[in-house]
Amino acid sequence: MTPETRYAKSGEVHLAYQVIGDGAVDLVFVPGWITHVELAWEDPLESAFLRRLASFCRLIVFDKRGTGLSDRVPVNQLPILEERMDDVRAVMDAARSERAALLGVSEGGAMSALFAATYPERTAALVLYGSFARAGAGLMSEDELEERLEALERDWPHSLDPAVPAPSEAGDEEYRKRWLTFMRHAASPGAAIALLRMNSQIDVREILPTIRVPTLVLYRTDARFGHGASAWREAGEDPITPSEEARYLAEQIPEARLVELPGADHLPWVGDTDPLLGEVAEFLTGVPHAPDPDRVLATILFTDIVGSTALAARLGDKRWRDLVGRHNALVRRQLERFRGRELDTAGDGFVASFDGPARGIRCAQAIAESVTALDLSVRAGLHTGECEVVEGKLAGIAVHIAARIATQATAGEVLVSSTVKDLVVGSSVTFTERGAHELKGVPGSWSLFAIESVGD
């Protein structure tokens, strides 16, 4: 029986999801490029794979926005990685899952890694299969990517070769027909192209060392398969994501376990699935309850009023206190609007945290613009990094870096680290380079970028 499709709401977008199974462990299946939660059950290979997962867990599957049964969105407004990660949270909330393991496949691995680092208290474990940390594993140059996108637009979905993700099924004509039907129903050409372009820009390398949940990294490699299946890869391994990407993930994520599996298929439900399912089942059902996390990934915002000392002296204590009170009220309204968490008020400035850098950027820009109504100017600095949780508050080097970045900003300017810039790639936010800077008390040289515009 096909599970019932329900809808979660993330912002204004409705996300199709299903729940199957009643195991002790919740498992969110975070998919790759394009999906369709109902057509998946019509494919005997994918259906069998999902039912095996549901035999030992409570399985949650969903369609990413713009694909499958989820809301179609304008192709020029497809979500950045942070928003896609937040969609996972929305689906978990709708499915009443307080804490779940995540199984990220292909591009879904980057989403899952970002979620695990940002919400360790909601992540029981992390499983990455056929995943990568950077730019589609660097398999294509910019020219090759453009050629690929042009081919997709010319002849969607027939320009796709089913042998690329599933070389062991290359000779099965029935499989080919199912594949093309699935892709045609799962996404429009514009959505498929936009998603592929976004995936080519993924880069989560810097957040991998901040992950503090049990992690299993799986990849397939076997010289008996894959030869001649695609011009993309000629080696006998996963034809889309090479083995070095899996090894990199395992090396960078603390205490991650790396397992090599037989086969060359990128799709996890194709080929010999028993070893893969066995590893996942053993890993998840044997994971003990993790202690409360003492480190999380967060985006830290520092703001302060420019020229406050001189202004306070000119206005006098009472008028200055009144002005600061109005300033604080404006800042808190913006923090509430962008889901920021106030950590502290330092003199005439604020320290706040966000679970996504794009929201932090938009909040900082909104604060800088709104306080001009009070004839004030603020400067702001943002950095995303691993923070210590100390008695419910955030501390650590990432907080200090954000503070130092703020001191480099001019009146009305929002400065960010390169980490923040890399994590919002593909968004409407544009930047201007501000060069390399030495930050007081922080080792190394730091490339800083000013927010030029945040778009819609």
Q: Which two tokens stand for residue 288?
A: 């003990």
Torsion of CA 34, 20, 6, 177, to 10 degrees: 40
335 and 259 share a domain?
no
- Please state the domain count of the chain: 2
279 and 299 share a domain?
no
Q: How far is CA 160 from the centre of its chain?
A: 26
Q: Look at residue 228 and tell me if it is in a domain.
A: yes
How far apart, in whole angstroms, are the C-alpha atoms of residue 109 and residue 126? 9
Query: In this structure, which amino acid lies at residue 63?
Result: D
Are residues 31 and 53 in contact, defined by beta-carbon separation less than 8 angstroms? no
Alpha-helix runs per DSSP H in 259-356: 274-285, 308-315, 317-337
How far apart, in whole angstroms, are the C-alpha atoms of residue 119 and residue 126? 12
Nearest to 335 by CA among 359, 310, 318, 313: 359
272 and 125 share a domain?
yes
Q: Are strands 414-417 and 445-453 parallel, antiparallel or unpaired?
A: antiparallel
104 and 221 share a domain?
yes
Nearest to 297 by CA among 411, 383, 202: 383
Q: Look at residue 1 and tell me if it is in a domain.
A: no
Final residue in a domain of this structure, among 232, 259, 285? 285
254 and 299 share a domain?
no
CATH number at residue 389: 3.30.70.1230
Q: Which residues, 6+ apart, have CB-to-CB distance to 405 below 8 Å?
A: 302, 381, 382, 383, 415, 416, 417, 439, 446, 448
133 and 265 share a domain?
yes
Order the strands of the 100-105 sheet from edge to edge: 6-10, 13-20, 58-62, 26-30, 100-105, 123-129, 215-220, 257-261
pLDDT, position 14: 97
pLDDT, position 137: 46
Q: Look at residue 424 and tell me if it is in a domain.
A: yes
Terminal-to-terminal C-alpha distance of the chain: 42
Which residue has tokens 């001649």? 228
How far apart, in whole angstroms, are the C-alpha atoms of residue 99 and residue 197? 31
Which residue has tokens 């429009």? 188
How far apart, in whole angstroms, are the C-alpha atoms of residue 149 and residue 154? 9
> What is the extent of the structural domain holding 92?
6-285
Q: Look at residue 235 and tell me if it is in a domain.
A: yes
Q: Look at residue 27 and tell me if it is in a domain.
A: yes
Are residues 215 and 431 in contact, defined by beta-carbon separation less than 8 angstroms? no
Q: Look at residue 290 and tell me if it is in a domain.
A: no
Q: What is the pLDDT along the chain (456 residues), one digit of tens a residue?
A: 689 999 999 989 999 999 999 999 999 999 988 999 999 999 999 999 999 999 999 999 999 999 999 998 887 776 788 888 999 999 999 999 999 999 999 989 999 999 999 999 999 999 999 999 986 545 567 787 888 889 888 999 998 888 888 988 878 888 889 999 999 999 999 988 888 888 888 889 999 999 999 999 999 986 333 333 333 344 445 567 778 889 999 999 999 999 999 888 999 999 999 999 999 999 998 855 556 677 889 999 999 999 998 999 998 999 999 999 999 999 999 999 999 999 988 778 899 999 999 999 999 999 999 999 999 999 999 999 999 887 678 888 999 999 999 999 999 999 999 999 999 988 889 999 999 999 988 888 999 999 999 876
Final residue in a domain of this structure, among 231, 255, 285? 285
Between helix 81-94 and helix 357-370 the angle, nearest 10°, is 110
117 and 32 share a domain?
yes
By CB atoms closer than 10 A (0-12, 13-18, 19+), residue 447 is middle
Final residue in a domain of this structure, among 232, 253, 285? 285
Which region, left, alpha or beta, applies to residue 262 given φ > 0 means left and ψ of -120 to 50 means alpha? beta
